[in-house]
Structure 1
Amino acid sequence: MARDLILITDPDDPRIAAYRDIRERDLVGREGKFVAEGKTVLNVLFSNARFEADSVFLRENRVEGAQALLERVPQHVPVYVASGEVMDRIAGFHMHRGVLAIGRRVDTPGVENLLDSLPEDALVVALAGIANHDNMGSIFRNAAAFGADAVVMDQGSCDPLYRKAIRVSVGAALKVPFAREGSAEGMVDALMARGFEVLAMSPHGTVDMTEVKPSKRMALLLGAEGPGLPPHLLERLTSVRIAMRHDFDSLNVAAASAIALHRLWRGEKR
């Protein structure tokens, strides 16, 4: 069925208010909505029952190339179209991709509920104080690439549905189930109560990642750049490290997550 496209010619049109000045007025945390950007991300959005879309907004020269995407958009979801000039004025900057949507999360499980939904053989990424949206997006991308079943994070971590985090994740933030609440200690307690072996990553870990033997239920705990994980958690858990030159200290947390998750990946067993 052909889509009815709604032409927007006035940047002040109230129907596209959610897209106005999106860089400064990101919708994360605003009634549970978020901005999705790019065809790859929107394809994930429209293939995941955990999310719904309020609308789609396309640059007019992107319409022809977005036909396959538009076939996936439910008929009740309005699709707005504007010239490049109008879209840029609405967004507040040049929208090179020209493919946007306003999404919202349908379900918001807590950490314990999410963990209870996982299979017996599961790999979880746990995050404590990850406040950088680029790192958050990259970690989600790595989690998706190496078969993580879920990502859990404390309230001190940034929202993975921030527009930049979703974009950097190439849609993985909409693909990998996640929960964000409470403290890092509570998150670790919930994991251990469900039989997860929690590995705390640190440049000064006591066990080299190459020596880790993957088990049925594993969780990789990552801390923020700079401070890393709290000392009391490192003392409580098995701490792991990635071997590197003696005259260099550490890797970016997202890069470290990729190396560690590759080691823990048990895709061949699934």
Structure 2
Amino acid sequence: MQTIPIDDPADPRVAAYLNIRERDLTGREGRFIAEGKVVLNVLFSARRFVPESVLVLENRLAGLAETLSSAPDDLPVYVASAEVIDAIAGFHMHRGILAIGQRRHAESIESILQALPSRALVMVLVGIANHDNVGSMFRNAAAFGCDAVLLDETSCDPLYRKSIRVSVGAALKVPFALGGTGLEIATALEATGFTQLALSPAGEKDITEITRPDRLALYFGAEGPGLPHTILDRIDTARIRMAPGFDSLNVSAASAITLHHFMG
């Protein structure tokens, strides 16, 4: 670990951290921004990602000693005052802890599925473009033992800064693949022996009526439009029982209830 003081917000060594509210590194050569102590701990332990550098508020450095002790020896740790770090980030950084991470390689749907055990639980997100929902759903996935998350090409990247933060680092823990259409994902899951369930308010059965198979994939669509008919017409559907006169939940809440029911 190399501690490097930064006195100038325009220092080229911290250029990747500039104005992070207005832009995001996701999609730029596999790099992303991690924020906060908990996420930093996850980044240092995640095998699928490599920490590139850390930027920390000077009065937070001592409290990060244990966390940073697990960092690579050659990792640059940039240290700045509150005034400088706020100027770099473009807003007040009350947490005062940022890091740049890098994906070792993007994983495909096929590579994810090949690595799964014979008993596995997978969550499929179709059209989930809200960063908060994606982050919350990854947190649910980690909490309830989901083995992998597959996101179609219209869903947002889980490595957006806000998604990682909302997931409390779970987006760096749970294996995922992003890309392809919902139908392509369904075809790949079918070929690897997965029973597939699409969650919908108009589902054929309540989730409590369904026995968990060894390999199960659960589909969730965007709030409002829900899952497309191309998915609903292809695979079995399920619903969450609710009080009379109400038929929908936030997609993150729906995923938490469903994953909890089918976990284990």
Scaled by the length of structure 1, the TM-score of the pair is 0.96
Corresponding residue of 1:28: 26
Distance 2:44 2:144 in 1: 23
Matched, 1:154 2:152: yes
Q: Which residue of 2 aligns with 1:132?
A: 130
> TM-score normalised to the size of structure 2?
0.98
Alpha-carbon offset, residue 107 of structure 1: 2.2
Shift of 1:98: 0.7
Structure 1 position 7 matched with structure 2 position 10: no
The alignment-based identity, stated in percent, is: 60
Correspondence for 1:254: 252
What residue is the counterpart of 2:178 in the other structure? 180
Taking only aligned residues, the RMSD between alpha carbons, in angstroms, comes to 0.8
Q: CA deviation at 1:28?
A: 0.6
Q: Which residue of 1 aligns with 2:161?
A: 163
1:65 aligned residue: 63
Deviations 1:169-199 (A, max 9, x none): 0000000000011100000110111000011
Instruction: Kindly provide the amino acid, as one letter, of the partner of residue 170 in structure 2.
Output: A
- Give 3-state SS (helix, strand or coil) of 1:61's partner: helix
Write the letter of the residue equivalent to 2:176: F
Provide Cα deviations, 1:247-270, integer angstroms capped at 9, x if missing partner: 11300000000000000001xxxx
Corresponding residue for 2:85? Answer: 87
Q: What is the aligned residue count? A: 264
C-alpha displacement of 1:88: 0.4
1:93-134 deviations in Å (ceiling 9; x for gaps):
011111110001002111011101111110000111110000
**Counterparts of 1:4 and 1:118, CA distance in 2:** 38
User: What is the alpha-carbon distance in structure 2 between the residues aligned to residue 110 and residue 87 of structure 1?
Assistant: 36
Alignment of 1:186-265 (within 5 A): 186-265=184-263
User: Which of these residues, 103, 106, 116, is aligned with residue 105 of structure 1?
Assistant: 103
Q: 1:149 Cα shift?
A: 0.6
Separation of aligned partners in 1, 2:67 and 2:143? 23
Partner-residue secondary structure (3-state), 2:233: helix
One-letter amino acid of the counterpart of residue 215, structure 1: P
Query: 1:212 offset after TM fit, Å?
Result: 1.4
Runs of 4+ displaced beyond 6 Å:
none
Structure 1 residue 232, shift from structure 2 partner = 2.6
Looking at structure 1, the residues matched to 2 and 125 of structure 2 have their Cα atoms a distance apart, in angstroms, of: 43
Cα shift readout 1:38-67 (whole Å, capped 9, x = no counterpart): 111011111011000110110001001100
Gaps of 5+ in 1: none
Q: Secondary structure at the match of 2:45?
A: coil
Gaps of 5+ in 2: none
Q: Alpha-carbon deviation of 1:231?
A: 1.4
